[in-house]
Amino acid sequence: MNPILQVTHVTGGYQRNRPIIHDVTFRVMPGEMVGLIGLNGAGKSTTIKHILGLLEPVEGSILVNGKTLLEEPQAYRASSTYVPEAPLVYDDLTLWEHLELTAMAYNIQRADFEERAARLLDEFNMRENRDLFPRHMSKGMRQKMMIMSAFLVQPPLYIIDEPFVGLDPVGIRSLLELMVKVKNTGAGILMSSHILSTVERYCDRYIVLQKGRMIASGTLAELRTQAGMPGASLDDIFYEMTKDGAPR
């Protein structure tokens, strides 16, 4: 089975001579949820931006569904979807129009779009808000709109960055259930979050970044071995690995 996402020895940042991430290597397999964790400034968002193609690696390679951005840009971009930490919205488009725009961008057939959109509106209790503009929505509602747009696509790879910010408990539960559902269909998920209890409960493997470098990776059992902390929670392991602020 081939990885859906393969990041290999990636070094890069916003300036070629000042990299932020260094020699980052990991993979996401089909039917797997991987947690990307680290302190603020550890390089999580920079890593995600490289995967999305917003930044170009100085060294290394990134494959999504076996394709690089340079070789097959359209296929590369069509193979993933993204939930940003902060909602990115068009002020003059309603919720429904945001979903329609996403469907057009990914060439989703009208019948499939309407079926998927109706189901997502119900799952996130947003049916009554389908014709609202973003300026009339709470932050949580705008975040739900981003999540719905991403999950409308149904690609092989989901990239999810701090998705719980602003969501109410019901919205968080709906998102987690939806993530489990798409994972069970064979999709891969890369999720960045500071809520380590949720990351521990839902993710299969973990990548720990510190100052742009990977300091640990693997299952919870493997992290416990690496940290020398048998039986410890992910939260306790993470604290011990990062408390001095320097890579180990």
Listed by start position, the domains of the chain span 1-79+156-165+183-248, 86-154
What burial letters (b/e) apply to 124-155, b meaning 16+ CB within 10 Å?
Answer: bebeebbebebeebeebbbbbbbbbbbbbbeb
CA pair distance 46, 161, nearest whole angstrom:
11
CB atoms within 10 A of CB 162: 18
* CATH code, 1-79+156-165+183-248: 3.40.50.300
Tens digit of each residue's pLDDT (9 = 90 or more) over 68-88:
999 999 999 999 999 998 888
pTM, to two decimals: 0.93
Alpha helix (H) ranges present in the chain? 44-52, 73-78, 95-105, 110-123, 139-153, 169-184, 196-202, 220-227, 234-242
CA pair distance 187, 118, nearest whole angstrom:
21
pLDDT (0 to 100) of residue 165: 82
Low-confidence ranges of the chain (pLDDT < 50): 246-248
End-to-end CA distance of the chain: 32
Structure tokens at 107: 């060439």
CA pair distance 28, 203, nearest whole angstrom:
11
pLDDT (0 to 100) of residue 248: 42
pLDDT (0 to 100) of residue 245: 61
pLDDT (0 to 100) of residue 172: 92
Tens digit of each residue's pLDDT (9 = 90 or more) over 170-188:
999 999 999 999 999 999 9
pLDDT (0 to 100) of residue 205: 97
pLDDT (0 to 100) of residue 85: 87
Q: Which residue, 141, 111, 114, 136, is CA-closest to 125? A: 141
